[in-house]
Structure formats: structure tokens, C-alpha cells
Amino acid sequence: MKVFLASPHTETFKALREVGKKARDWDAIRADAIGRLEREEKIGPLIEIALHEGDVARALALLPRVKTSGWYSNDHKWEVARAAEKEHPQAAIALYQEMAERAIGNRSRGAYQQAVDYLKRAKKLAGRLDGEAEWQSYLQSLRARYPTLRALQEELSKARL
């Protein structure tokens, strides 16, 4: 448990699970580990564990509690959005849109290209949900908010968005 708590990541969680299963006390050990992470508000590791266990709904519920600091921090939105595509497509669309708009805020062609990648994923999901009209409305409003960002408009056009 000490090793896991010192470095709470998926790999150390897997090792803890192996030890817990051998000791035939995995449920109690897991509950204790999760409880400690909750008390210490280590939301990132909790999201990673939820995704590892296939509990996308829990990962989505934890996501708003992530505290980010600086440009290098992992807010886990990408991982959760990808995992949510199948069972929670509407939530995945919202996350992709949020990430796209954050990328647009970085004001560079590379950031616009990243935004387009997110938007293409969202468009694909919207099409799967028969939400084409809603998607087009969102895209029109996005373009209208940034009429002077020529590089963004070019990237959107190039991607046929």
C-alpha cells in the first residue's frame, strides 16, 4: 500500500491488486486505497483507476474536481473523452468541444490544428447520434466567434468543418 500511495498510478495500482488478490483481501485493500486517494483529493489517480477498471461514468463524475496548475498539467479530459465515446457520446462531444475551444485560445496554427482534430472526433460522434443539425449550429457559432482568426478559419475549411 505504501508504494502505491507514494506513486499512485495505474501500474502501481495493478501491482497492489496482484498483492491483494494473493492475500485474498483485494476488496478491502482496494476500498482503503480509493478512500485514501479521495481523502487526499488525488483526483488524477482516481480518474486513471476508474478508466483502468472501465468505470467511465465515475471518471466523468470525477473530472470536474481536477485541479490544474500550469500548461503542463494533465486534466485527463482527453483520456476520459476517448473512453466516453461509446457509452457516453454526448459527454465526449462536450469534452472535445471544450478542449477545442481551449486550444483555439492558444492562438497558433498548431493549436488550431489540434482544435480541428478534437472537432472532427466530436463531429463523428454527433453524426452517430443523429445530431447533425445541432452540430452545424455549434460549428457556425464557433466560426462566428472567431471571424478574425484567419488561420483557424483556414484549418476549419481545410478539414471540411
Residues 86-119 have pLDDT tens digits of 999 999 999 999 999 999 999 999 999 999 999 9
pLDDT digits (tens, 9 = 90+) for 3-50: 888 889 899 999 899 988 888 889 999 999 999 999 999 999 999 999
Residue positions counted in the chain: 161
In this structure, are residues 45 and 37 in contact, taking their beta carbons and an 8 Å threshold?
yes
Please indicate, yes or no, whether the overall pTM of this predicted structure exceeds 0.85.
yes
Domain positions in the chain: 1-70, 85-161
Q: Which amino acid is at 134?
A: E
